[in-house]
A and B are shown apart, each in its own frame.
Chain A
Amino acid sequence: MTDIAGPSLKRRPSALLLIPAALVAAGMLLPMVYLLARALEADAATLVDIVFRERNLRLLSNTLLLTLSVLALTTLIALPFAWLVTRSDLKFRKFHAIMGVLPLAVPGYVMAYALMGLSGYYGFANHYFGIRLPRPEGLSGSAIALSLYTFPYLFLNLRASMLGLDPSLEESARSLGRTPWQTFVSVVLPNIRPALLSGWLVIALYVLGDFGVIALMRYEVFSYAIFTQYSGAFDRVYAAWLSLMLMAVTLSFVLIDARLRGQRYARVGKGTARPAVPVALGRATPLAWLFVLLVYATSLGLPLVVIIFWMGQTDTVVDLMEVAGAFYRTTAVALPAAAIATALALPVVYLTVRFPSRASSALDRLVYLGYSVPPLAFALSMAFFALRAAPFLYQSLPLLLFAYAMTFLALAIGPIRSRLLQIGPRYEEVSRSLGHSGFASFMLTTFPLLRRSLVSGGLLVFIMVVKELPITFLLAPIGYSTLSTAVFSRTSEGMMVEAAPYALAIVLFASLFVGLILRHEGQR
């Protein structure tokens, strides 16, 4: 099992890396093979009818428009926020850092309802002030709702990157007469590019796959059309084609990202970086506070108020034991799924970073493609293969965990890769030159440095599993209900109010773990 290349710098990846990598590749290829198989069921005439429809063009342009709007909005929120938290003298920076990540805990449809809840007859604007605001919908409504709970992905990346950035670069720029703004543009911005890109990629892929928000905001994009085909039409063939088109869009995003990603970001100087000297905000302080408070009010205040408002509407007694049971069952799948995803992400990242090759970058892209397979299609493909290859695994916990780990693997990869890029290969090279095996060198030098990013990657997966719906529906062992299925089973019969305690439990539960990410990430 040891790597016998010894101190030589030219090495080949060991089986310890290749076996998990092969497992990941297989897991990611399954849904694609499935979709292709379904797509090819179409006869030529239907095919022409389906693929060359004018409507597909509209779906494409709507999808791109929404993605770009969300990227712009999240950047407008996350970039100043990250700068304030890492570079300014704003008070309570640690608190802000946590608050900036908490919105991740809000499920998409709750955020959409929150925005809609402001407006209309049911809205608290009407309930408390007697004003009926127009309902947010379409492109603007979807973009705002999505941005309000996905910006933390970008914030997390930017914050980590700014914290890891050597402040002496900025100090040199300042000492040469640049203003803080010029310093930011000419020094900070180029250096945080990888963080911007990986944050954007995750958000873009999330937007492509989201259904909860766009369905409520009534904006027609690919994911909406795909769901409609499965649900209204029971048309697995057209749905497969739409899914493949969506994945082509994803692939183009991933390729653009790879083109834009630079080469080297590890520190080259000696010793360790000092913490940055904070920039005094001075008269801009109230403005900074206004900004962060506005972000909190919209991204956290709104959804909480809506859930609590719903809870106030009901006189049914909440069965706490039932909520606790759902709570337990959610953790019992989310924790192992996160652990598996992280354990598989590590060898994939290590391969792509340390052994760059065509094969390793193909694997990397495959992982992002897997992330963009619509969850319903992903679940169906798992059913398809499990029933044919291993019927005893069908609707069992192991298969459910594998499906979760595969769908959300890309989320665990981001933080681990950013960190591994910053660490650089030198420590391991030194260790190997001292006679340690490749694996031992990794465990002795790089692994301890990676540990925090492993935890944050795992927690991102954990939070997504807690909120996940279609895969849980179809692949969980029978009778296994989680917090999110409990919410659905109430909202599907129009009982929004009865769903509120479970929705609140999801938000609180996920927040708890978001807090944990921060504890692990923030101690640098």
Chain B
Amino acid sequence: MKKFLAGCVALALSMPAAALAEELVIYSGRGESLVAPIIAQFEADTGIKANVRYAGTSELATLLQEEGGQSPADVFWAQDGGSLGAIAPLFADLPAEVNEGVAPAFRNVNNKWAPTSGRSRTLVYSTERVADADMPASITDLTNEKYKGRVAWAPTNGSFQAFVTAFRVAHGDDAAKTWLEGMIANDAKVYRNNGTQIEAIANGEVDFGLVNNYYLGRYIARDDKFPVAQTHFQAGDIGNLLNVAGAGIVAASDNQETARKFIDYLLSTTAQQYITLQGNEYPVVPGIIGNATLEPFAKLQEISPKIDIDQISDLEGTLALLREVGLL
């Protein structure tokens, strides 16, 4: 009985302490297997308890829209810029200094969210069936007869849609429509996402694919004879678009201070180095050792088209276009 009472007292004493401990609710569209270690490190370093809901980025974005002002989430960490743009109205403004150290190419001018890693659109191709002379110089070359039935794409994929938006910004809606129709007429094969395109090339279904840069590394890491390689189009080509994953603070959160600490942590050297090496992505702050399997960031900046990340926010227009040509 004494023990029991002592237990009660201990429990009662620990209650206020538990209530005072900082807690954070994170909706993570990035997979648990990749980001759980870095979140655990954040907890260890700061003493803040992170409660994470892992799910698909799009499911979470839809859920956030549904929750509106009643969302229990403090932070939303998204896989792609498109969903960050869609959720931007629900994000609180970040203090300007958060994004100050971030490479300009990735910065959100409105400071609605912070980029957490960069990725680039690339061309993946079969090392078995594609000769050097067959390489397209520009993504617009893929509508040539030479590539009929040989190219994979994923029109429902967020990264692809961001690319189409960029295409519209750079070359105009009409040119984008012509290209899309040209691709359809050239029998481009529809896949669900990036990974399935790469597998399709290995499987011999197609010879080229349009994907983000960080998928191929996972296949090569397991099998160095994997018959797929990746490259970029010529310098400045829209097919080399730079894009981001990022995180923002939910406006409905009453825990914004703590949320800010998490965003800062994601931009810290520790987190950036981890994402760069484990995720095969590009860091968004200087001073990080690059991933040796990727093209150096300096080169990437040189060849990527000069499109502002914030200019590619018109997802609506892109979806309307994709519906018009019958891809959605």
Interface residues of A (CB under 8 A from B): 53, 55, 119-123, 132, 135, 215-216, 218, 228, 230-236, 313, 376, 379-380, 383-384, 387, 391, 394-395, 470, 473-474, 478-479, 481, 485-486, 488-490, 492-495, 497-498
CB within 8 A of A478: which of B51, B60, B70? B51
- Asked whether B291 is an interface residue with its Cβ less than 8 Å from the other chain, the reply is no
CB distance A495 to B204 under 8 Å? no
Q: A122-B199, A376-B59 are in contact. List 17 more A-B contacts (CB 8 A).
A: A55-B326, A216-B196, A234-B83, A234-B315, A236-B65, A236-B66, A383-B63, A383-B67, A384-B66, A395-B72, A478-B52, A479-B51, A488-B55, A490-B32, A493-B34, A495-B31, A495-B33
Smallest CB-CB separation from B157: which chain A residue?
A232
How many residues does chain B have at the interface if contact means C-beta atoms less than 8 Å apart? 51
CB within 8 A of B319: which of A232, A376, A387, A498? A232
Interface-centre pick from A121, A228, A313, A376 (highest chain B CB count, 10 A): A121
CB distance A121 to B328 under 8 Å? no
Quick check: which of B12-20, B107-115, B187-195, B282-290 contacts chain A, the rest being far away? B187-195
CB distance B222 to A313 under 8 Å? yes
CB distance A497 to B222 under 8 Å? yes
CB within 8 A of A495: which of B54, B61, B218? B218
Q: In the complex, how many angstroms separate the beta carbon of B303 from the nearest chain A beta carbon? A: 25
Contacts of B157 in A (CB 8 A): 232
A-contacting residues, B14-49, CB 8 Å: 25, 30-34
CB distance A492 to B56 under 8 Å? yes
CB distance A490 to B33 under 8 Å? yes
CB distance B192 to A218 under 8 Å? yes
Q: In the complex, how many angstroms separate the beta carbon of A289 from the nearest chain B beta carbon? A: 34
CB within 8 A of B53: which of A216, A228, A479, A490? A479
Contacts of B161 in A (CB 8 A): 232
CB within 8 A of B58: which of A230, A387, A394, A481? A230
Contacts of A135 in B (CB 8 A): 200, 203, 205
Contacts of B200 in A (CB 8 A): 120, 135
Give chain A's interface secondary structure class.
helix
CB within 8 A of B30: which of A120, A215, A493? A493
User: Given A121-B199, A135-B205, A391-B70, A489–B59 Cβ distance below 8 Å?
Assistant: no
A-contacting residues, B142-190, CB 8 Å: 156-158, 161, 190
Ordered by A's residue number, 28 sampled pairs between the chains whose C-beta atoms are within 8 Å are A120-B199, A120-B200, A120-B203, A121-B203, A122-B199, A123-B203, A132-B203, A216-B196, A230-B62, A231-B58, A231-B59, A233-B328, A236-B62, A380-B62, A380-B66, A383-B67, A384-B66, A387-B66, A391-B70, A474-B55, A474-B59, A474-B60, A478-B53, A488-B31, A488-B54, A490-B32, A494-B194, A494-B218
Smallest CB-CB separation from B51: which chain A residue?
A478
Which A-B residue pairs are the 10 nearest by beta carbons? A120-B203, A231-B58, A489-B32, A493-B31, A121-B202, A473-B55, A492-B31, A478-B51, A234-B86, A232-B156
CB within 8 A of B31: which of A120, A123, A232, A490? A490
CB distance A234 to B65 under 8 Å? yes
- How many angstroms between the C-alpha atoms of A119 and B203 in the bound complex? 8
User: Given A218-B192, A383-B66, A122–B328 Cβ distance below 8 Å?
Assistant: no
Interface-centre pick from A218, A387, A489 (highest chain B CB count, 10 A): A489
Contacts of A218 in B (CB 8 A): 190-192
- How many angstroms between the C-alpha atoms of A519 and B215 in the bound complex? 46
Q: In the complex, how many angstroms separate the beta carbon of A238 from the nearest chain B beta carbon? A: 9
CB within 8 A of B227: which of A121, A123, A380, A488? A121
CB distance A478 to B59 under 8 Å? no
CB distance B192 to A216 under 8 Å? yes
Contacts of A235 in B (CB 8 A): 319
- How many angstroms between the C-alpha atoms of A36 and B113 in the bound complex? 33
- How many angstroms between the C-alpha atoms of A383 and B31 in the bound complex? 22
Q: In the complex, how many angstroms separate the beta carbon of B162 from the nearest chain A beta carbon? A: 11
Smallest CB-CB separation from A231: which chain B residue?
B58
- How many angstroms between the C-alpha atoms of A233 and B314 in the bound complex? 11
CB distance A132 to B191 under 8 Å? no
CB distance B56 to A231 under 8 Å? yes
Contacts of A231 in B (CB 8 A): 56, 58-59, 156, 158
CB within 8 A of A234: which of B58, B194, B203? B58
Contacts of A473 in B (CB 8 A): 53-56, 59
Contacts of A234 in B (CB 8 A): 58, 61-62, 65, 83, 86, 315
Contacts of A494 in B (CB 8 A): 194-195, 215, 218
- How many angstroms between the C-alpha atoms of A498 and B36 in the bound complex? 14
Q: In the complex, how many angstroms separate the beta carbon of B228 from the nearest chain A beta carbon? A: 9
Contacts of A122 in B (CB 8 A): 199, 202-203
CB within 8 A of A387: which of B60, B70, B156? B70
Smallest CB-CB separation from B216: which chain A residue?
A494
A-contacting residues, B233-277, CB 8 Å: none
Smallest CB-CB separation from A493: which chain B residue?
B31
- How many angstroms between the C-alpha atoms of A191 and B13 in the bound complex? 69
Smallest CB-CB separation from A391: which chain B residue?
B70
Contacts of A384 in B (CB 8 A): 66
Interface-centre pick from A119, A120, A228 (highest chain B CB count, 10 A): A228
- How many angstroms between the C-alpha atoms of A120 and B56 in the bound complex? 27
- How many angstroms between the C-alpha atoms of A490 and B133 in the bound complex? 38
Contacts of A53 in B (CB 8 A): 323
Q: In the complex, how many angstroms separate the beta carbon of B310 from the nearest chain A beta carbon? A: 18
Contacts of B63 in A (CB 8 A): 379-380, 383, 474
- How many angstroms between the C-alpha atoms of A233 and B320 in the bound complex? 10
Q: In the complex, how many angstroms separate the beta carbon of A494 from the nearest chain B beta carbon? A: 5
